[in-house]
């Protein structure tokens, strides 16, 4: 049910009492309207039970379906249809269901695919549901006393219900159910048909897209033509129409022409107004900047309109509605796997080897101590489901050697086998290093693509003291790289190296973040997908320290502060800057500066900070007190200044400023 619709929440009580059944029959056509301007949703109920176990392969084969009807007396234009079913069955995978309109349009709701051995049906078929009916694999509650609505879950049907949009409501609607296999049976209890009445003023907008070529060469241009149309039968003009059409990674904006205005940074096309029967077109030119064998999908969707649309909702991300369009191009030629940079570790390296580690299946956090380096911690978040598959180590995340990445001897790696709720969902893995790695390298297995199921996208980012560090990604045959993201566009089997992606950090890092999801080639609701994170080589940190000292004359007795000179009585300011130029974290850093007899220290003049400019924190002159660890310390003993830091990470610095008088 679309977001602008107001859903009906009244429970239909199931009971064998004839009086209650009569009341249900009288209430079968209950309807209501939401606030002004919204659409009206009418619910029609059929709660006539079948005989016990009447739905079976003998009595209701698909050549002689079981039927339940809904009589609709009102005549209005339909803008959305949902149907919910309560049905007991010992093997849901046997069931096939259809909905037929008075006009004769017949839509398949489910064919039982992927339902497996799950039992019963208690759910709503809704085009706007976030998950496809093929994911309905858990048992459901369905008995003669189960109270519906609300129904337990919602799924999008096998075929889109939008085929009913624009039809008349009046007449008999028919739910058809059949049992396609032997050995199991079921009992029908209730179904609810929800018809949404189109508002008095609406537009029927649609979007189309074509590409000037589907096989552009690397470095050439491709022109996309986008066309928005308001159907001739629409009763109203749509104003404020916008389209979201951001070019995918791998295509670089060149120019555009046509109606309205286009923002290449956001991908927003401001179309303007469309009267009934009117179309507007945008030509969008882009340069292809990916290599041979790459498949790129450019998608677009109507994102806003001043009036409701008859059969689609702007900006909802649904790929089955007619306000969504896409075009796929393939760069000709064969792709070769890239050659990863050689990792250089001047101070040696430590290998985080999954063959010698453990991981409790299903765990999303773990911490390890790596000899010669320090701690390595993992934290994984997933907005979808982690799957349980014995072939891949059981409950994911898991340690497994099922995907080998082409290695002659299988090695263990950490798998993330997931079912994400949408193409835009991301699994995020954060690898926190207890020390700074001077460089790092590892391989991700199985970054690939399966048509109509998933299109892997992996983005890798590093951090050092909070600052972003970007890696070099090296592609396999089944993926391509743009920046710090890799995109799967071909299938790689579990034993092939084609899906390998090598990640190389040539600069120091203390954190690695992986974001795993899908790109535009994936359906709106991807299926099962997974990657494996293989062993990580970490370059051990190096220790190196540098010290600089600068001075400035602040004033003198003759010139005061105007072009002062270093003459007797002059006040001078010094800054000592201690920099850790290596990658190892230094501890208990102490720097001393004996002052010459030609100058005298100005008491109370010392300040500290991360740089000479930022050295504004007051320090006292002794070696005691909280100021000695805030986070830097300073003190004077006789004529010798001491500066201290308890800890100084790689590529950081601290400064001590103080003043003296020239004797």
Give the residues of the chain that fall short of pLDDT 70: 1-38, 114, 116, 130
Q: Are residues 465 and 502 in the same domain?
A: yes
pLDDT of the residue at 38: 55
State the residue for tokens 């009916």.
Answer: 133
State the residue for tokens 């039970």.
Answer: 49
Asked if residue 490 lies in contact with residue 399, where contact means CB atoms within 8 angstroms, the answer is no
Q: What are phi and psi of 164, to 5 degrees?
A: -85, -20
Q: Are residues 44 and 103 in the same domain?
A: yes
Q: Are residues 426 and 512 in the same domain?
A: yes
Q: Are strands 349-352 and 365-370 parallel, antiparallel or unpaired?
A: unpaired
Q: What are phi and psi of 55, to 5 degrees?
A: -95, 105
User: Is residue 74 a part of any domain in this protein?
Assistant: yes
Calculate the CA dihedral of residues 28, 34, 37, 39 and round it to 10 degrees.
-30
Q: Are residues 169 and 54 in the same domain?
A: yes
Structure tokens at 329: 């191009």
User: Is residue 464 a part of any domain in this protein?
Assistant: yes
pTM exceeds 0.85: no
State the residue for tokens 């990657």.
Answer: 531
What are the angstrom distances between the C-alpha of 52 and each of 62, 175, 188?
A: 19, 18, 8
pLDDT of the residue at 37: 41
Q: Are residues 174 and 245 in the same domain?
A: no
pLDDT of the residue at 24: 36
User: Is residue 360 a part of any domain in this protein?
Assistant: yes
CB-CB neighbours of 376 under 10 Å: 22
User: Is residue 318 a part of any domain in this protein?
Assistant: yes
User: Is residue 116 a part of any domain in this protein?
Assistant: yes
- Report how far residue 510's alpha carbon sits from residue 493's, in angstroms, rounded to the nearest whole number: 33
pLDDT of the residue at 557: 96
Q: Are strands 653-662 and 251-258 parallel, antiparallel or unpaired?
A: unpaired
Strand (E) or helix (H) holding 102:
none
Asked if residue 156 lies in contact with residue 60, where contact means CB atoms within 8 angstroms, the answer is no
Structure tokens at 255: 């120019």
DSSP 8-class letter at 390: G
DSSP 8-class letter at 131: S
Strand (E) or helix (H) holding 21:
helix 18-26
Among the three residues 330, 365, 381, which one is the final residue of a domain in this structure?
Answer: 330
- Report how far residue 17's alpha carbon sits from residue 24's, in angstroms, rounded to the nearest whole number: 11
- Per DSSP, which regions of 238-341 are E strands? 238-244, 251-258, 261-263, 268-274, 279-288, 295-304, 308-309, 324-330
DSSP 8-class letter at 93: G
In a 3-state reduction of DSSP, which class is residue 134? helix
User: Is residue 566 a part of any domain in this protein?
Assistant: yes
Integer-rounded Cα Rg, in Å, for the chain is 34
- Report how far residue 118's alpha carbon sits from residue 92's, in angstroms, rounded to the nearest whole number: 6
Total count of domains within the chain: 4
- Report how far residue 77's alpha carbon sits from residue 80's, in angstroms, rounded to the nearest whole number: 9
Q: Are residues 359 and 450 in the same domain?
A: yes
Among the three residues 484, 516, 539, which one is the final residue of a domain in this structure?
Answer: 539
Cα 63 to chain centroid distance, Å, stands at 43
Q: What are phi and psi of 92, to 5 degrees?
A: -60, -30
**Is 452 buried (19+), middle (13-18) or exposed (0-12) by CB count in 10 A?**
exposed
pLDDT of the residue at 33: 33
| Domain coverage including residue 58 | 18-197
Q: Are residues 187 and 115 in the same domain?
A: yes
User: Is residue 336 a part of any domain in this protein?
Assistant: no
Asked if residue 127 lies in contact with residue 162, where contact means CB atoms within 8 angstroms, the answer is yes
Q: Are residues 524 and 375 in the same domain?
A: yes
Q: What are phi and psi of 215, to 5 degrees?
A: -140, 65
Q: Are strands 121-125 and 153-155 parallel, antiparallel or unpaired?
A: parallel
Asked if residue 61 lies in contact with residue 178, where contact means CB atoms within 8 angstroms, the answer is yes
State the residue for tokens 């992927």.
Answer: 114
- Can you give the CATH number for the domain in which 520 is found? 2.60.120
- Report how far residue 155's alpha carbon sits from residue 119's, in angstroms, rounded to the nearest whole number: 16
User: Is residue 609 a part of any domain in this protein?
Assistant: yes
Q: Are residues 226 and 354 in the same domain?
A: no
- Can you give the CATH number for the domain in which 655 is found? 2.60.40.740
pLDDT in tens, 465-519: 899 999 999 999 999 999 999 999 999 999 999 999 999 999 999 999 999 999 9
CB-CB neighbours of 277 under 10 Å: 11
- Report how far residue 399's alpha carbon sits from residue 99's, in angstroms, rounded to the nearest whole number: 45
Q: Are residues 319 and 411 in the same domain?
A: no
Q: Are residues 163 and 235 in the same domain?
A: no
Q: What are phi and psi of 19, to 5 degrees?
A: -65, -45
State the residue for tokens 């059409």.
Answer: 245
- Report how far residue 550's alpha carbon sits from residue 568's, in angstroms, rounded to the nearest whole number: 19
Structure tokens at 276: 């009934």
Among the three residues 296, 330, 364, which one is the final residue of a domain in this structure?
Answer: 330
Burial letters 302-314, b for 16+ CB under 10 A, else e: bbbbebbbbbbbb
Q: Are residues 482 and 495 in the same domain?
A: yes
């Amino acid at each position: 049910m679309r977001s602008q619709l107001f859903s009906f929440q009244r429970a239909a009580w199931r009971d064998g009492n004839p009086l209650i059944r009569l009341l249900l029959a009288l209430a079968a056509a209950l309807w209501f309207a939401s606030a002004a301007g919204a659409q009206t949703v009418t619910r029609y109920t059929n709660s006539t039970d079948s005989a016990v176990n009447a739905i079976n392969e003998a009595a209701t084969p698909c050549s002689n379906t079981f039927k339940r009807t809904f009589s609709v007396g009102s005549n209005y234009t339909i803008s959305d249809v949902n149907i919910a079913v309560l049905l007991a069955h010992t093997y849901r995978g046997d069931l096939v269901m259809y909905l037929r309109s008075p006009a004769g349009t017949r839509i398949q709701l489910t064919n039982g695919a992927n339902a497996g051995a799950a039992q019963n049906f208690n759910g709503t078929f809704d085009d706007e549901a976030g998950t496809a009916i093929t994911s309905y694999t858990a048992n459901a509650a369905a008995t003669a006393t189960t109270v519906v609505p609300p129904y337990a879950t919602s799924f999008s049907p096998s075929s889109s219900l939008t085929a009913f949009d624009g039809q008349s409501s009046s007449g008999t609607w028919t739910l058809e159910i059949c049992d396609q296999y032997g050995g199991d049976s079921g009992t029908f209890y209730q179904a609810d048909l929800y018809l949404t009445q189109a508002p008095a003023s609406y537009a029927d907008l649609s979007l189309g897209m074509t590409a000037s070529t589907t096989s552009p060469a690397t470095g050439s241009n491709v022109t996309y033509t986008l066309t928005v149309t308001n159907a001739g039968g629409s009763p109203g003009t749509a104003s404020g129409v916008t389209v979201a059409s951001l070019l995918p990674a791998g295509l670089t904006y060149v120019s555009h022409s046509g109606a309205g205005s286009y923002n290449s940074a956001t991908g927003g096309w401001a179309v303007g107004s469309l009267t009934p029967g009117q179309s507007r077109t945008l030509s969008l030119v882009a340069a292809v900047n990916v290599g041979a064998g790459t498949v790129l999908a450019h998608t677009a969707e109507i994102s806003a309109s001043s009036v409701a649309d008859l059969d689609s909702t702007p900006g909802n991300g649904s790929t089955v509605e007619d306000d969504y369009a896409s075009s796929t191009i393939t760069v000709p030629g064969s792709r070769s796997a890239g050659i990863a940079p050689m990792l250089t570790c001047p101070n040696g390296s430590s290998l985080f080897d999954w063959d010698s580690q453990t991981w409790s299946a299903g765990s999303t956090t773990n911490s390890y101590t790596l000899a010669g380096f320090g701690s390595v911690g993992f934290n994984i978040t997933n907005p979808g489901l982690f799957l349980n598959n014995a072939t891949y180590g059981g409950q994911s995340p898991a340690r497994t050697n099922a995907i080998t990445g082409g290695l002659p001897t299988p090695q263990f790696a950490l798998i993330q086998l997931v079912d994400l709720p949408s193409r835009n969902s991301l699994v995020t893995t954060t690898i926190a290093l207890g020390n700074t790695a001077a460089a790092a390298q590892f391989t991700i297995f199985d970054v690939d693509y399966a048509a109509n199921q998933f299109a892997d996208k992996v983005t890798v980012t590093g951090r050092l003291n909070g600052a972003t560090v970007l890696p070099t990604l090296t592609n396999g045959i089944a993926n391509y790289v743009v920046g710090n993201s890799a995109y799967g566009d071909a299938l790689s089997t579990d034993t092939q190296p084609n899906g390998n992606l090598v990640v190389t950090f040539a600069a120091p890092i203390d954190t690695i973040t992986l974001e795993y999801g899908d790109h535009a080639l994936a359906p709106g609701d991807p299926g099962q997908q997974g990657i494996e994170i293989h062993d990580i080589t970490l370059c051990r940190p190096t220790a190196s320290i540098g010290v600089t000292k600068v001075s400035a004359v602040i004033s003198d007795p003759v010139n005061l502060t105007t072009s002062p000179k270093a003459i007797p009585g002059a006040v001078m300011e010094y800054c000592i800057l201690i920099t850790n130029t290596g990658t190892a974290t230094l501890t208990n850093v102490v720097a001393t500066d004996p002052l010459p007899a030609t100058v005298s220290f100005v008491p109370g003049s010392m300040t500290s900070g991360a740089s000479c400019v930022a050295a504004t924190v007051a320090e006292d002159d002794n070696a005691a007190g909280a100021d000695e660890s805030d986070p830097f310390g300073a003190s004077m003993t006789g004529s010798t200044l001491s500066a201290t830091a308890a800890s100084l990470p790689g590529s950081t610095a601290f400064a001590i400023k103080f003043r003296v008088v020239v004797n």
